[in-house]
A = this chain, B = another copy of it.
Amino acid sequence: MAKDQKKQPRPKAETPKGFRDYFGADVTERKQMLDRIAAVYHRHGFDPLETSAVETVDALGKFLPDVDRPNAGVFAWQEEAVPGGGSGDWLALRYDLTAPLARVAAQFRNDLPSPYRRYAMGPVWRNEKPGPGRFRQFYQCDADTVGSASVAADAEICAMLADALEAVGIARGDYLVRINNRKVLNGVLEAAQILPDQADDVLRSIDKFDKVGRDGVLALLTKGRKDESGAFIDGIGLDEAQAAPVLAFLTSKGADNAATLANLRAAVGGSAIGGDGVSELAQIAEMLAAMQVGADRVVIDPSIVRGLGYYTGPVFEAELTFDILDEKGRKRQFGSVAGGGRYDGLVERFTGQKVPATGISIGVDRLLAALRAKGLAGQETQGPVVVTVMDRDRMADYQAMAADLRAAGIRAEVYLGNPKNFGNQLKYADKRGAPVAIIQGGDEAERGVVQVKDLILGAKIAAEASHEEWKAQPAQTEVARADLVAEVRRILG
């Protein structure tokens, strides 16, 4: 290595651009959250699936049209074509957990139970330009049911999502799962006699409902509107009679599910597909009621339009409804933490057979951020008890103390740095978030005692107490070595 260093400059110690490392509580808090979600999924009969991080670009599929740049959006590389070795295939890191599910559902279709309920949690990778809070590796947490055309699968997943949010600590009333249905929208388009080549434009307009409201969508559907910058956005050119059912759809949320469903039936008029869609929502509402899941948790809400273009049936979105303060100190709602819906064609591109599927994806980082904002994560940051080293020849004694503490279930460690400077040891204990430091010098060893220093109380005294009080050091007590564990346990409560 010394030789290399003469020839080459030192490498930079840097996380690659757009990637990040997770330390300590970052890891354990996310893990605890995902464990709680997994327990809910498990109780609902969902099985875990962990696919390889690497897929063939061919199987990932979404990027195939761009044959010249198969790595647009994904991290991809070509295997060396070696006889008996590399295949020359293009490989890539998965960009979500749905594409691998599609591959697995096709590959193992004869072995998996059908319907197949599975959950998956893990990192995915996106080859995108990184930005603030935008990383090229992040966690997803998905649950999907593959092979069931029944809306019972959709109802179950929405109820399960509500349970999962409560399991991680979001109180009832602080979240709402909203359900809409693409088929109802299709019925509305039919009722409004929207031409097929106008449908995409209409979808784009209603996607702006969140931002521009009812009148904004009306303008976009008809004669156009000025946006915030003053630029004029052309309208689609529908007449007001055509726009009316679309607006009726978007604003059909009533006082309860029954009222909403009645409004939707009116909006779809005589459309068969629209009628099917409303019936599906009615069935979902009935099933949720049977499962004792009230409209305060999961509700039919046609104003939820995100994903309507992508999904083929019911669409779900979970929002956190409590206020948080943004970076400028203004109150705003936390917003969406999960979304999903029903989709076809998951397995079709592999096998030619349509396989119905429905699922949700929880935004892991967003949900964790929400838990932190509510003070529901981040408590368990207490460090270990630190056994300091006064006499480096008696390391075995100090290790015996740490071993005794650990045997009693108490997190503990011996200071392993250079023990010469005792101040450094206390600084280390502070950096570790240690609640207690153990000290035993030669004279204490002779007398068979140890000093037990309550660092949390000590910090409080240092911050609040007068110099005299501080000098009295009530945060440090001397106990017999045999009473070490009991004293630490007393301090830790």
Contacts and interface: CB of A to CB of B under 8 A. Distances in A.
A13 interface: yes
A85 B129 contact: yes
A59 B8 CA distance: 13
Interface stretch (A107-115, A174-182, A184-192, A319-327): A107-115
B290 A64 contact: no
A421 interface: no
Interface string A43-76: 1110111111111101101001100000100011
Contacts of A412: 43-45
A292 interface: yes
B13 A52 contact: no
Contact of A52 (B16, B152, B352): B16
Contacts of A145: 416
Contacts of A47: 23-24
A76 to B, nearest CB: 7
A58 B152 contact: no
A384 to B, nearest CB: 4
Q: Is the interface of A mostly helix, strand, loop or mixed?
A: mixed
A255 to B, nearest CB: 22
A416 B386 CA distance: 55
Nearest to A345: B1
B414 A58 contact: no
Contact of A13 (B351, B383, B400): B351
Interface stretch (A153-161, A224-232, A332-340, A443-451): A153-161
A49 B20 contact: no
Contact of A153 (B15, B289, B406, B416): B416
Contacts of A417: 114-115, 147-148
Given A5-B349, A75-B54, A104-B21, A290 B45 contact: no
Given A91-B16, A396-B286, A417-B114, A21 B44 contact: no
Nearest to A50: B22
A159 B403 contact: yes
Given A48-B27, A53-B53, A11 B287 contact: no
A196 B28 CA distance: 48
Contacts of A193: none
A399 B101 CA distance: 25
Contacts of A477: none
Contacts of A84: 129
A75 B49 contact: no
Interface in A2-16: 4-5, 8, 10-16
- What is the copy number of this chain in the assembly? 2
A107 B290 contact: no
Contacts of A24: 47-49
Interface string A391-426: 010011111101100110111111011100000000
A365 interface: no
A283 interface: yes
Interface string A370-404: 00000000000001101000001001111110110
A163 to B, nearest CB: 8
A256 to B, nearest CB: 17
Interface string A92-114: 01000000100110111000011
A42 interface: yes
B89 A16 contact: yes
A316 interface: no
A239 interface: no
Contacts of A153: 416
A117 interface: yes
Contacts of A473: none
Interface of A: 1, 4-5, 8, 10-17, 19-24, 26-28, 31, 42-45, 47-56, 58-59, 61, 64-65, 71, 75-77, 80, 84-85, 87, 89, 91, 93, 100, 103-104, 106-108, 113-115, 117, 123, 125, 129, 136-137, 145, 147-150, 152-153, 155-156, 159, 283, 286-287, 289-293, 345, 347-352, 383-384, 386, 392, 395-400, 402-403, 406-407, 409-414, 416-418, 428, 431-432
Given A13-B347, A15-B103, A293-B403, 14 more contacts: A11-B350, A13-B350, A16-B56, A23-B49, A24-B49, A42-B411, A43-B410, A53-B125, A71-B80, A114-B417, A145-B416, A147-B417, A155-B399, A291-B400
By Cβ-Cβ distance, the 5 closest A-B pairs, closest first, are A45-B413, A13-B106, A77-B77, A19-B52, A290-B396
